[in-house]
Chain A
Amino acid sequence: MNNENQKEADILDDEEEGIGLFPSWNWLYLSVVVYTTLLIGLLYLFTVFLDYSAP
């Protein structure tokens, strides 16, 4: 039972601690969302500006 409690505590610690440059997991998740938005934006720019089809 103690092991179970310890494991649960480890999991909670895991969720609260910082990850590298990011102060928390939520900031890391937010960076993924921003990254995805930037990717879509970049691909949209490709679509618009690299279209040289004849008029």
Chain B
Amino acid sequence: MSLLDWSVFAVYFGAVLAVAYSQSRKNVGVEGYFLANRRLPWGAIGLSVMATQASAITFIGTTGQAFENGMEFIQVYLPQPLVMVLLCVLFVPFFYRAKVYTAYEYLENRFDAKTRSLTSFLFLVSRGMAAGIVLYAPAVVLSVIMSWDETVTILIMGVVTVLYTMMGGITAVIWTDVLQMLMMFAGIAVALVVLFGALPQEVALGDVVYIGGIQQMWTSIDLSWDPTNTYTLWSGLIGGFFLALAYFGCDQSQVQRYLTAKSLKQSRLALIFNAFLKVPMQFAILAIGVLLFVFYHFERPPLIFNPAETALVQDSSQAQEFARLEVEHQATHELRKKATLSLLEARRNGENLQSWRRQISQYDQQLSALRSDSKQLVQEVRGASSNDVNYVFPSYLVKYVPAGLLGLMIAVIFAAAMSSLDSELTALSSATIVDFYQRYFRREASSQHYLMASRVATLFWGVLASGFALYAGQLGSLIEAVNRVGSYFYGSLLGVFLLAFLVKRANGNGAFAGLLAGMLAVFVVSETTDLSFLYYNVVGALVVVAVGTLWSLGRSQGAEVSG
């Protein structure tokens, strides 16, 4: 990176700390630390809700996924506007009226202490480890692409985020999220403009759309009914709906955001703001991936986007075979480039395009096969499968983006990671203090005491997340296990809240039994079927509601009979 890039980077960190410091003085007591004394406007909350959901992987992973498979990923996001409406109608009024600090606190008011404690504990376990992954995932990519030390990258992100979160609590978190989200918007716009500007001068917007269309990169809707496929309209609308409802309605890192609003109306407006903006934003991020796909018709892409994997194969006994694939890749790319330029020329002259399209399609398939072969080599050398999807966008940034803008784009990746981490730290801290410390250990203490305890809890979770991130590289399949365990109980957690809101006669024992049955059902379904993971949330939620209702009704009838 140039001096200009480092300067942009420094300005970003300076601005984050300045915003956090200026906002931190507005908090009063522990309610200020966790809920900003319930006085924040909807615009700030709305942007914070978006920033919390958009992690660094949203930028570097989603763009890579669109580069490989086009726009199909958008289907998972399509139910989100509808989810926001359901939250406004059903969830937010319950939380708001209950005047709670955490979503799980509401469950004690409605059911009992054990249901609250179990749901809060499940949140702490999964989010505590997920916070580490939020740090680790971008750090490992940046360390490979930028040759930065992974430990230093994790520590910079971790220390700065913990510092401003401890200093200013949720107020600092939400206002820094606003800054970070605005940077992300700017980053998306810059990436699209720079990528389009990097194409040959004779390539117009219509040509970009046309080239992408040859490989069906704009295919956004798949109407096939296949519950094992995550990327169909039905999996998105049904599974994605339950997933988003669980995330926005039951995960403290999101619920805490809209509890900070100064009125119910402001909470709802923040969510409606997301309803209108989320899908277009995700479309723009995916479009970066498709534009990259078109860009690499004119510039030769790396055979493997992860330079560490490339170096590994080049230093192995497979080096000669890899070199042969490289030569073939170079030759096929040149042929495709020539055919693409000829197609555009023919398009301008109104000639028949069919034979050019067929040629380009064949070259695309050959290049794809060469990539598969080289990934196979990586797998043989590494003993583990190659997945370089997270490296597609960063490797483009480093090689092609001009000085200054590179610093901005790297800062955007940092902003995305930090805006998710800070929200998770405040959520973890609030659940620890309110649901456990205050509930079981110190029921009566001064506000100052709880404020200090909250800061210590934030520090504890920050250190744990950073520690997990530092060792994540050695944990291997544990990371996958963390993600998997999360999907086991997310839907079940949603089921408990639906039971609370919708079934008047449901009681604490029913909710607790339902929660255990829901997690068990998801475990069985995941182990015995090929159902897409999106449906786990549907299974979990429905089993909890069904078992919880039957258990509650059965027990109450039993009590009436014996009474």
CB contacts under 8 Å to B, within A1-55, are 7-8, 10-11, 14-15, 17, 19, 25, 28-29, 32-33, 35-36, 39-40, 43-44, 46-47, 50-55
The minimal Cβ–Cβ distance linking B501 to chain A, given in whole angstroms, is 16
Given contacts A51-B218, A54-B357, contact A39 B78 (CB under 8 A): yes
Q: Which residues of A contact B209 (CB under 8 A)?
A: 50
Contact of A8 among B88, B97, B233, B360 (CB under 8 A): B97
Inter-chain contact B84/A54, CB cutoff 8 Å = no
Inter-chain contact B361/A53, CB cutoff 8 Å = yes
Interface hit among B113-121, B262-270, B541-549:
B262-270
Inter-chain contact A50/B212, CB cutoff 8 Å = yes
The minimal Cβ–Cβ distance linking B309 to chain A, given in whole angstroms, is 30
Interface hit among B158-166, B271-279, B395-403:
B271-279
Inter-chain contact B264/A11, CB cutoff 8 Å = yes
Q: How far is the CA of A10 from the CA of B269 in the complex (A)?
A: 16
Inter-chain contact A51/B216, CB cutoff 8 Å = yes
Q: How far is the CA of A15 from the CA of B89 in the complex (A)?
A: 10
Name which residue of chain A comes closest to B283, CB basis: A43
Q: How far is the CA of A29 from the CA of B92 in the complex (A)?
A: 14
Q: Which residues of B contact A29 (CB under 8 A)?
A: 85, 88-89
Inter-chain contact B82/A36, CB cutoff 8 Å = yes
B354 within 8 Å of A (CB atoms)? yes
Inter-chain contact A11/B268, CB cutoff 8 Å = no
Inter-chain contact A55/B354, CB cutoff 8 Å = yes
The minimal Cβ–Cβ distance linking A51 to chain B, given in whole angstroms, is 5
Given contacts A11-B93, A11-B264, contact A36 B81 (CB under 8 A): yes
Q: Which residues of A contact B265 (CB under 8 A)?
A: 14, 17, 19
Given contacts A11-B264, A50-B209, A53-B214, contact A32 B84 (CB under 8 A): yes
B320 within 8 Å of A (CB atoms)? no
Given contacts A11-B97, A32-B85, A32-B275, contact A43 B213 (CB under 8 A): no
Given contacts A40-B78, A54-B354, A54-B361, contact A32 B216 (CB under 8 A): no
Q: Which residues of A contact B25 (CB under 8 A)?
A: none
Given contacts A53-B214, A53-B215, A54-B361, contact A46 B84 (CB under 8 A): no
Name which residue of chain A comes closest to B212, CB basis: A50
The proximity string for B residues 286-316 relative to A, scoring 1 for CB distances below 8 Å and 0 otherwise, is 0000000000000000000000000000000
The minimal Cβ–Cβ distance linking A34 to chain B, given in whole angstroms, is 10
Contact of B218 among A10, A11, A14, A46 (CB under 8 A): A46
B219 within 8 Å of A (CB atoms)? yes
Name which residue of chain A comes closest to B276, CB basis: A35
The minimal Cβ–Cβ distance linking A25 to chain B, given in whole angstroms, is 7
Name which residue of chain A comes closest to B356, CB basis: A54
Instruction: Give the dominant DSSP class at B's interface.
Output: helix
Q: How far is the CA of A29 from the CA of B84 in the complex (A)?
A: 9
Q: How far is the CA of A7 from the CA of B279 in the complex (A)?
A: 34
CB contacts under 8 Å to A, within B319-359, are 354, 357-358
CB contacts under 8 Å to A, within B227-277, are 233, 263-265, 268-269, 272, 275-276
Name which residue of chain B comes closest to A29, CB basis: B85
Q: Which residues of A contact B6 (CB under 8 A)?
A: none
Q: Which residues of A contact B354 (CB under 8 A)?
A: 54-55
Q: Which residues of A contact B233 (CB under 8 A)?
A: 40
Q: How far is the CA of A54 from the CA of B555 in the complex (A)?
A: 64
Name which residue of chain B comes closest to A53, CB basis: B216
Q: How far is the CA of A32 from the CA of B269 in the complex (A)?
A: 12
Contact of A10 among B89, B263, B272 (CB under 8 A): B263
The minimal Cβ–Cβ distance linking B89 to chain A, given in whole angstroms, is 7
Contact of B71 among A46, A52, A53 (CB under 8 A): A46
Given contacts A29-B88, A40-B233, contact A50 B275 (CB under 8 A): no
Q: Which residues of B contact A47 (CB under 8 A)?
A: 218-221
Contact of A52 among B78, B81, B93, B357 (CB under 8 A): B357
Q: Which residues of B contact A50 (CB under 8 A)?
A: 209, 212-213, 218
Q: How far is the CA of A19 from the CA of B269 in the complex (A)?
A: 9
Inter-chain contact B97/A32, CB cutoff 8 Å = no
The minimal Cβ–Cβ distance linking A21 to chain B, given in whole angstroms, is 13
CB contacts under 8 Å to A, within B438-471, are none
Name which residue of chain A comes closest to B72, CB basis: A47
Q: How far is the CA of A27 from the CA of B130 in the complex (A)?
A: 38
> Known contacts A32-B85, A52-B210; can you find 17 more A-B pairs with CB under 8 A?
A19-B265, A25-B88, A29-B85, A29-B89, A32-B84, A32-B276, A33-B85, A36-B79, A39-B279, A40-B78, A43-B220, A46-B71, A47-B218, A50-B213, A51-B216, A51-B218, A53-B215
Closest 9 CB pairs of A and B: A52-B213, A43-B220, A50-B218, A54-B358, A54-B361, A54-B357, A36-B81, A50-B213, A44-B221
Q: Which residues of A contact B (CB under 8 A)?
A: 7-8, 10-11, 14-15, 17, 19, 25, 28-29, 32-33, 35-36, 39-40, 43-44, 46-47, 50-55
**Can you spell out 24 A-B residue pairs with CB atoms less than 8 angstroms apart?**
A10-B264, A11-B93, A14-B265, A15-B93, A17-B265, A25-B88, A25-B268, A29-B89, A33-B85, A35-B275, A35-B276, A36-B79, A36-B82, A46-B71, A46-B218, A46-B220, A46-B221, A47-B219, A52-B213, A53-B214, A53-B361, A54-B214, A54-B357, A54-B361
Q: Which residues of B contact A (CB under 8 A)?
A: 71, 74, 78-79, 81-82, 84-85, 88-89, 93, 96-97, 209-210, 212-216, 218-221, 233, 263-265, 268-269, 272, 275-276, 279, 354, 357-358, 360-361
